[in-house]
Amino acid sequence: MLTDQIVKGLLENDYHVIKFIYKSYYKAVKNFVTNHGGSNRDASDIFQESILVVFEKLRQDPALIQKNFPSYLFGVSKYLWKQHQRDLQKAVHTINLSQEVQPGLEFAEIPRDIEMETLAMKEKQDRIFQEAYISLKPDCRKIIDLVINGCTVEEIADFMDYTTVSNAYRKRQFCKEKLMAYIHHNN
Amino acid sequence: MEKLNKDIQIDRYVTGKLDDAELWEFRQEMEKNPRLAKEVELRSSIYKSIADKQKLNLRISLKAMSAKYQVSRLTIHSWKVQAIAAGIAVFLLVGAGLLTSVFNRSNPDQLFESYYHPESSLLSVRSGSFSDNTSLNLGMLSYDQGQYEESIEIFKTIPNNVVARLYCGFAYMNVKNYEAAINEFDYVVAHGDNLFIDQASWFRGLSFLADNKISTAKSIFTNIASQDGAYHSKATDLLEELKNK
């Protein structure tokens, strides 16, 4: 699959492209992470995080990664794993920067700059916020969507078919507390 | 109550619903109260992130793909375990063969079990700004994780979505609520303008079979077998086995 097909598919959340990315590149990232002190779970998290960071960068400028998608994805994975190790204050020197992710696969060297730090930070934040939303029950997600769209409590009562406005108040408060509890617990 | 009102006021500020006078007053208050300013900043980031449905949908798809990929890549490394597993497999195959020859799939339950293969999700839901897609993706995610009751609850929030109705039907089948499953497949078939009519018809027939409504199931399979669709040969085979029922 060509890089521009992957880029387009990723931006459109295309199932076949996502499957292709997993099938083609997950093993290499998993090998890298597990060979450098990480678990399978770490590898899975880093891989997802890397795809979302690449996605964010593509959204800003699709032309940036036109040359070699896997090389860039591996570079981001390596960058994020190093950052994770730094956060845990583990021995960074155990990571051999010149080591290939997998024989025959090239990976870009991503410099530690403000742009990449910001993208990684944003992804960490989005992950907590969006996971919190995903963890809610469907009716709570609907209410949170209505709140975000600026609906009043009266409008929420109407939309959700609540018999009284005070019910809507209570439910709105309950859902927001659930959302915030998840965020505070995971932050 | 005052706390609740402040909470609503923050939401109105973040979502741009304060009028000019309220806005001016609120900004003044934020300047004097750093805790309030911090709360506003946090809430603004949270809402912005949740409103980003394109990224949210991709995250959901990746979670589902990751779960699928881990399951499909589970391997048994130990040769001893592999040998034991192979032994069990041979035993089961022989056992299954014997059972099949003895009973010859003589009752509808057995026929249903041999023809019913649960569908896994397609996850081909394109991202966009519509929360419908998010609900569909979330429903698929729950479905893929085997949380069928939860997926039904989510699919029911988008009753006009054909894919949601189809997968809601599959989810009902998985919890053995065939009557409800038939309702969902009825919707997909009656809708007419979609790519899932063959699939819905086939699973509708299987649901009737599982519910022991043999003559209705037969007439559905006869209809499928008479057409040149994807389930033509399966329906023909199944009808052959149902001949004397």
Indicate if the pLDDT at residue B224 is higher than 60. yes
**Least CB-CB distance to A48: which of B45, B46, B62?**
B62
Indicate if the pLDDT at residue B105 is higher than 60. no
Per-residue pLDDT tens digits for A119-141: 999 999 999 999 999 999 989 99
How many beta-carbon pairs under 8 angstroms link A with B? 110
**Record: contact A26-B69, CB cut-off 8 A:** yes
Using a CB-CB cut-off of 8 Å, the residues of chain B touching A26 are 69
Residue B75: its pLDDT value, please? Answer: 44
Using a CB-CB cut-off of 8 Å, the residues of chain A touching B7 are 173, 176
**Least CB-CB distance to A15: which of B46, B59, B122?**
B122
ipTM of the complex: 0.88
**Least CB-CB distance to A19: which of B52, B65, B127?**
B65
Contacts of A5 (CB under 8 A, 6+ apart): A17
d(CA B27, CA B34): 11
B154 to chain A, minimum CA–CA distance in Å? 6
Residue B233: its pLDDT value, please? Answer: 87
Cα–Cα–Cα angle for B106, B112, B115, rounded to 5 degrees:
110
Residue B102: its pLDDT value, please? Answer: 40
A133 to chain B, minimum CA–CA distance in Å? 7
Backbone Cα Rg of chain A? 20
The residue with greater pLDDT, B245 or B59, is: B59
Whether A176 and A147 have beta carbons less than 8 Å apart is answered as yes
d(CA A83, CA A89): 10
CA nearest A54 in B: which residue? B55
**Record: contact A125-B70, CB cut-off 8 A:** no
Contacts of A76 (CB under 8 A, 6+ apart): A50, A53, A54, A110, A116
**Record: contact A52-B63, CB cut-off 8 A:** no
Stated pTM of the model: 0.71
Residue B100: its pLDDT value, please? Answer: 45
Span B207-214, average pLDDT: 90
d(CA A73, CA A55): 10
- Report the residue of A118, A130, A144, A172 to disrupt the B interface, i.e. the one with the largest count of B CBs within 10 Å: A130
Residue B142: its pLDDT value, please? Answer: 86
**Record: contact A15-B61, CB cut-off 8 A:** yes
Span A50-78, average pLDDT: 86
**Distance from chain centroid for Cα A134:** 13
**Record: contact A13-B125, CB cut-off 8 A:** yes
Whether B208 and B190 have beta carbons less than 8 Å apart is answered as no
Tokens found for residue A85: 């190790």
- Report the residue of A13, A59, A125 to disrupt the B interface, i.e. the one with the largest count of B CBs within 10 Å: A13
Residue A114: its pLDDT value, please? Answer: 84
d(CA B205, CA B222): 10
* Mean per-residue pLDDT over chain B, rounded: 80
Span A63-82, average pLDDT: 84
Residue B126: its pLDDT value, please? Answer: 46
Any idea what DSSP says for residue B105?
Answer: T
The residue with greater pLDDT, B108 or B231, is: B231
Residue B112: its pLDDT value, please? Answer: 80
- Report the residue of B10, B40, B55, B153 to disrupt the A interface, i.e. the one with the largest count of A CBs within 10 Å: B55
**Least CB-CB distance to B49: which of A22, A51, A130?**
A130
Indicate if the pLDDT at residue B99 is higher than 50. no
**Least CB-CB distance to B131: which of A19, A55, A145?**
A145
